[in-house]
Structure formats: structure tokens, C-alpha cells
Amino acid sequence: MTTKAAIWIIFLMTYMAYPIQAHNGVVALAIPVENITIDGDLSDWPEGMTYYAVDNPEFQLPPNDSTDIQGYFRIGYNVAESALYVAIEATDESILLNREGGGIYIDLSHQDHNSPVGQYYFMNSGVYYGQGAVKDALQVAQVQKGNKRYAEWRFDLNRVGQTSIALKPGQILGFDLILHDSDDDSHFSWMAWGKGKDKYKMTDRRGDVILIDNTTPLGYLQGRMLWSDTNEGVKWGQVLVQSPKASDFSVVVSTDEKG
């Protein structure tokens, strides 16, 4: 993926003396959205949006099987409203309203180190506000239908309070999302979009969201990260994508188990 600026790629192997200290390697694309009502009904979201899986078991136990907690989100933005929209869908074989929920982390500054973040917690029974969160910045609605849970979030970025920004295509925000699940047998799973716990404290444990629109050119970067001595793929290595023309365009992408 790319903006209008050219991009170049730096491979930093894990044996080098300086690891990447940006974000955790997951990247999402946010597209423009409009006329969305925050009511838990996701039928007014645009068709064809990418679903991002919340599938990293970062604390306690992984899901029991494919019927246990399975979560996805979509993400969009509205320039005129200076708003970020998030839609969450989760499927679970058992719903315990007062013991399940998750959290959203929004980092507007997108700095490499000590970047301030708003931490918004939610339970299926209601919404709670963590450190750095601004209550007036948020609208949220949640709906349960059988073993599926739906949630819509709207963040007024003029009120989030970390910094003042004007949304535009090509802009990058720090972001992450977690879901936690409790079952009747006390089985507990803490699932994250990007790897890492302590996302409030640790900038490098949050993902990246790139804002795009219909005029944003998209392409592909293809390559493989290999160990020089064995020629085997580097599992969960990190690739830094940096624009030479736009200093604020920088994302980190993780490799898969094959490099």
C-alpha cells in the first residue's frame, strides 16, 4: 500500500542492535463513511469494507474452538465531523453480559515513543472509561442477537483531547482493539487485534490505521525476510515502510510465520 509519495522499505532483522520501536505490525485502512446512525445496527455501513480479525490471544487462554470468541472490526472516518467510526462483531457460544467486553485504544499523535492514548473500555452491559479517555468524545451502542454481539462506536476527535488534528487521506493514527471473553467454566480469553498487552503504556504494542479515500492509489509491496545464515523465513519480523517525502508517513508491518 502507498500514498502519493513514493515509499521505500527497510528490513531490520531481529539480530541487529536496534529493534524497531514504532508500532506492533498490524495495519488497517479506514475509508470515508457517512450517514451512520450509532444504534448497533450495522446495515448502514458501506458494503465491501475490510474486516480485521481480533485473533491474538495475548493473556490467559486461547479460545476453546471455532465456536468460542471470534471477533472482527471495521473502521472508517468522516472528515466533516472529524470523527472516527468503529464497528465490532463478535460471535461466542456463551454470553455473560457482566463479564465480557473489550477495549479500544486511540493514539492521535502517532509518535514512536510515549505517544499519549485514550483507553475506552466496554462491557456488554455498558461502557467504562479508562485512562486518557474523554467521555464526551464518545457515542456507542451495543446489540446482542443470539450468540452474536454488535457494537458501533463514534469518536469525536476534536474532543479526544490528546492533540488537535484535521483528518485527511494519508494520515496515520495509532489504534488497537481488544475483546475479552469469559465462559461458564471460568475459561477466560483476552484477544487483541495487534500483538502485545499493556497497550496503554507501550506505544509499540498498538497498531496503525491509515486513512484513505477514493483518490488514494493502492499498490502492493512484496518481499520476504530471511535469515542470512539459514535462508529461512523470519517469523514475526518487522518491516518499516517510510515515505522519503512525507516524514509523518511511517508504518511497521509484521511478517508471517514464513517471513
**Confidence band of 138 (pLDDT split at 50, 70, 90):** confident
Q: Which pLDDT score, from 0 to 100, does residue 18 have?
A: 35
- Region of 196 please: left (phi>0), alpha (psi -120 to 50) or beta: left
Whether 240 shows a pLDDT value over 70: the answer reads yes
Q: Is pLDDT of 14 > 60? A: no
* CB contact at 8 A, 87 and 71: no
29-62 pLDDT, tens digit per residue, is: 999 999 999 999 999 999 999 999 998 776 655 5
Query: What pLDDT score was predicted for residue 5?
Result: 31
Whether residue 80 has pLDDT greater than 80: yes
What was the pLDDT predicted at 252? Answer: 82
pTM for the whole structure = 0.82
**Portion of the chain with pLDDT greater than 90, in percent:** 25
Q: Could you give the C-alpha distances from 29 to 3, 100, 103, 127, 202, in angstroms and in order?
A: 12, 27, 19, 26, 22
- 159-191 in b/e burial notation, b at 16+ Cβ within 10 A? ebebeeeebebbbbbbbbbbbbbbbeeebebbb
- SS3 category, 232: coil
Q: Is the pLDDT of residue 131 over 80?
A: no
Q: pLDDT class for 67, splitting at 50, 70, 90?
A: low
Position 173 confidence tier, pLDDT thresholds 50, 70, 90: very high
- Of the candidates 214, 188, 217, 222, the one whose C-alpha atom is nearest the C-alpha of residue 64 is 188
